[in-house]
Amino acid sequence: MANVAVCVLGSLGYDRAAQGAAGAGRALAESVGGELHALVIGPASDNAVAALAAVADRVVIGANEALGDYQPEQALQAAQQLHAAGGGDYVAVLLSNDTYSQEIAPRLAHRLGGSSMADAAAIRADGDHLLAQRTAYGGKAISIYRLKKQPAVVWLRARGFEPAPEQGAPGDVTTVDLALDPPRIRITGREVAAQEGVRLEDAPVIVSGGRGLGGPEPFQELKKLANAIGAEQGASRAACDAGWVPPNWQVGYLCHQVAPELYIAIAISGASQHLLGMGDSKVVAAINTDADAPIFKHCSFGIVEDYKQVVPLLTEKLQSMAG
């Protein structure tokens, strides 16, 4: 029998990305008539394990003291051993799109003699192969790849997938002890960026500003709007590169790939890199003076108007509606 594995880092918990990866895994497992297994690298909270057991047929947790602190070589070794501990007969091993999963994925594929693919927005089985859809040429094209070797080790645009449904009965949970070598590259320090509010990736509403704002001050005006609707603030590359806001505000293909329920793009024209970063948003609204700006081809509603005219009035109206 062919099963599907979702491989998660215990330290990240069962976040929205893991939920999406598990959701993609469950849909794939059903299509191939197999089970969904969760392979957990390192210690996870009881809540995370319970949440995984609720959606997976089997949960295998890899235990080793060293795994409390992410080190790429050891996480990779752990994933390889967990793959075997779970039975090894996987058509696909799916991962989320956090930095750590991204760097592990191709190397795990190589160790397992499988195929690797990155940033898949959709996957489906086709006989013994997996088909994975993603963007190419900086968002100008969509490509569908045929992954020819099993297992297909794929990291997903995980937040774009529906969370996995809970099963009738929780899956079996087992813990296996792993043997890990000391790493020859060791992460020795982390400078975690100061973060106000929730991670952009997990924000349900985002208000982003772009080049058309012309400077840092208008972001204060956008902050009032964001506060009125409980939104986090983001920005385009132009606004970050100009130093108007910190670099970790940047929404784009190579930085924050967001998936809010509502994304409001203000004075953002819609460069392809930005469109890729916001591509998983459920609803997009745009405020821009240029009716021909690409953003208007990627939003559900908008207004062709100067933000200076719109934002204060809009904020006021939304404040009174929230009332």
Say if CB 225 and CB 281 are below 8 A apart.
no
- 195-214 residues near another protein, rule: CB under 8 A: 201, 204-205
- 53-72 residues near another protein, rule: CB under 8 A: 72
Give the x/- contact pattern for another protein in 125-164, rule: CB under 8 A. ------x--xxxxx-xxxxxxxxxx---------------
Q: Supply the DSSP symbol for 106.
A: H
The Cα–Cα gap between 33 and 108 comes to: 24
The Cα–Cα gap between 22 and 317 comes to: 40
Minimum Å gap between C-beta 138 and another protein is 5
- 20-59 residues near another protein, rule: CB under 8 A: none
Closer to another protein by Cβ: residue 171 or 279: 279
Minimum Å gap between C-beta 174 and another protein is 28
Q: β-strands 129-136, 141-147: how paired?
A: antiparallel
Closer to another protein by Cβ: residue 90 or 100: 100
Binding segment for another protein (CB under 8 A), chosen from 33-41, 157-165, 212-220, 312-320, is: 312-320
Asked if 103 touches another protein (CB under 8 A), the answer is: yes
Tokens of residue 194, six digits: 């100061």
- 229-248 residues near another protein, rule: CB under 8 A: 229-230, 248
Which of 259, 212, 202 minimizes the C-alpha distance to 235? Answer: 212
Tokens of residue 23, six digits: 């959701």
DSSP string of 203-246, one letter each residue: -SEEEEE-GGG-SSTHHHHHHHHHHHHT-EEEE-HHHHHTTSS-
- 107-126 residues near another protein, rule: CB under 8 A: 107, 109-111, 114-119
Which residues does residue 60 pair with via DSSP β-bridges, in sequence order? 39, 174
- 172-191 residues near another protein, rule: CB under 8 A: 183-191
Binding segment for another protein (CB under 8 A), chosen from 44-52, 84-92, 157-165, 310-318, is: 310-318
Chain centroid to CA 231: how far?
Answer: 19
- 289-308 residues near another protein, rule: CB under 8 A: 291, 296-305
Which residues does residue 116 pair with via DSSP β-bridges, in sequence order? 153
- Residues in the chain, overall count: 323
